[in-house]
A and B are shown apart, each in its own frame.
Chain A
Amino acid sequence: MGLLDRMGTIVKSKMSRIMDRMEDPREVLDYSYEKQLELLQNVKRGIAEVATSKKRLELQRARLAQSAEQLEGKAREALSAGREDLARQALERKVSLQNQIEILDSQIAELDREEQKLIGVETRLSTKIETLRARKEAIKAQYSAAEAQVKVTESVTGISEELADVGLAIQRAEEKTEGMKARAAALDDLLEKGALEDYTGGDALERELSKVRTSGAVEAELARLRGEMK
């Protein structure tokens, strides 16, 4: 059995779970309408959630980019003081930050795709809701005429399929956002503890650099004093 058959089975089992709850297709119509409204709220929430996660990653990215820039400045400073070893150290840290930034970039892009997809789902679902709202009473009225029952059943299965699809889309988006959130939280933790930003200050590199700066200043003072004593 291929992927297509299996997809059909998955969706059909979701649909039948919706339809089995009701004895009369007319009840399914009302239930589906309510359910669609509920799903629309979920989709809207999902979009907001994805947007928030994206924003958070963008902020983290900005922080890391700023640190990388500062490290570049320090490398320059170390080089002009003739300390290639320190410059190398700063650049190593900058490269590791840049790797983090690249990972963030791809996550931001993925969330962006997810957002676009959900916006598409929202538009489609809104149209379906509008259609169902306008037609549901008419379809229900037709049901009492035996010959129209097949048509009603068709509409009901069509709606259930849509519900199953939207339901799946929301759940998958949620799972993805959850994963991203966990990673963002871990990164926040690191930033909080200074594990990433310490790269730019307060650590051994900064101490060394400040030694270079002080010794430069000390040398200059010495030279000035020597000059005065001559």
Chain B
Amino acid sequence: MAATYTLRAKHRRSRLRTLAFLSPWLIGFTVFFAYPMISTVYFSFMHYDGFKPPTWVGTKNWKYVFESYPFFWPALRNTLWLVVIMVTLRVLFGLGIGMLITKIKTGTGVFRTLFYLPYLAPPVAATMAFAFLLNPGTGPVNSMLESIGIPAPGWFNDPSWSKPALTLMFLWGVGDLMVIFMAALLDVPKEQYEAAQLDGASAWQRFRFVTLPNISPIIMFAVVTGVIAAMQCYTQPLVAGKVASGVIQGAGTSFQPGYPEYSTLTLPQLVYNLGFQRFDYGSACVVALVLFALSMAFTALLMRRRGGLIQAGD
């Protein structure tokens, strides 16, 4: 009897000790995730403007966002565009630059620094610089294109060019991915390349069957973090649209993000617009939940489809 009691007490102490070690995470999880998450779901069914007590409105906010809020679908399309096109290009470009720099014999440090520096530029400053460079009327990029007879695009002033212009800017700041890919590429065992070469593998085959399998976890990391960043893309499209539109908020002026023609609208901008400009917290919560669900869906999809990207045991 006494032995059983001692054993139970030992188990209880062990459980308590485990919980004590876990408590920082548990507290963080409750305060920063579970409570906000439950609140968000709760407020998505309430009419609440921050002053009057919240009132239950059922699915009104959900219907409003999906059926009547004119910015939701364009913002969703833009966000998905950024997730698919921009993330793909960023990963390919980052990997390409990383591979090139690992190949060069001299001046690696200089190139590494040159490619990494843009990543350090503050988002607002970088966007304003690009808006200046890509200005259709006075920008040096268009002057150069026109001088060699290439029709100059409208960039941030043209709805069909605004997202490619944004992508171009994100490619310029690809330094973070480049550094990660470089580390992964330098980590690929040399003997595998030597063995492949002895077997007569071409450059493409060496990349396909040696490099790619070795760096696949890093590619997965780049894709997942890129998707999350694209989902949360807020500052750059907002600043680009605002600068290009020429509207400066002042007496009597109003600015709706998305210039031109909703093309730079993203879902996080809608959360801000609904929540902190219109003070329709209920609808803002709906958009936040959509964003959350999308993030979950993309992550789950990537994890499920990782197949060839991550090898067993990773």
Chain A complexes with chain B: no
List the interface of chain B (C-beta within 8 A of A).
Answer: none
